[in-house]
Structure 1
Amino acid sequence: MKQFLELIGFLALAQGVMGLVHEFTDWHVGLLQRVGFLDGYEVYASIVLIVLAVALFAAAESRGSD
């Protein structure tokens, strides 16, 4: 379970960072710009993904070594 939480946390962190990179540099990376209902809110969604990743890493760490 710990490895699953870490994997999901890593994916959320990667997508959050790529979303911010896309917004500030116009590189076409990440999946957030492809989600239609987030149009105009990509920066906020990227920040939420980064916070979610930190929470998932904390939850994985609290699980111990299962």
Structure 2
Amino acid sequence: MKDLLGYLGLVLILGGGTGLLADRLGGFRLFGFVGVLVPDGHETAGYATLLVLGVLLAIPAAKRG
């Protein structure tokens, strides 16, 4: 279970972080699936939420060892 939480947290952290960078810098999106998770017009808040959610999922996985 900790591996699943760790991997999911990592994917959400990377997806949210690259989404924020692409949104602010106008680059291309590395993780295309996060565009489906974030509603149109709310990209910055959606990517920040994914980033925070990823950190919250990764913390318990890291504490378990």
Q: Aligned-pair RMSD on alpha carbons? A: 1.9
The residue number in structure 2 matching 1:3 is 3
Percent identity for Structure 1 against Structure 2 = 27
Instruction: Sort the Cα spacing of 1:23 and 1:37 in 2 relative to 1 into closer, same or farther, 3 A.
Output: closer
Tell me the distance in 1 between the aligned counterparts of 2:42 and 2:21. Answer: 14
SS in 2 for 1:40: coil
Instruction: Give 4+ residue runs of structure 1 displaced > 4 Å after superposition.
Output: none
- C-alpha deviations, 1:6-38, integer Å up to 9, x for none? 0000000011011101111111113234x3871
Tell me the distance in 2 between the aligned counterparts of 1:28 and 1:54. Answer: 23
In the alignment, residue 5 of structure 1 is paired with which amino acid?
A: L
SS in 1 for 2:28: coil
Q: Give the C-alpha shift of residue 61 in structure 1.
A: 3.0
The residue number in structure 1 matching 2:20 is 20
In the alignment, residue 44 of structure 2 is paired with which amino acid?
A: V
The TM-score, its normalising length taken from structure 1, stands at 0.80
Structure 1, unmatched stretches of 5+, are: none
Equivalent residues, number: 63
The TM-score, its normalising length taken from structure 2, stands at 0.81
Tell me the distance in 1 between the aligned counterparts of 2:2 and 2:43. Answer: 29
The residue number in structure 1 matching 2:59 is 58
Report the structure number with the largest CA radius of gyration: 1
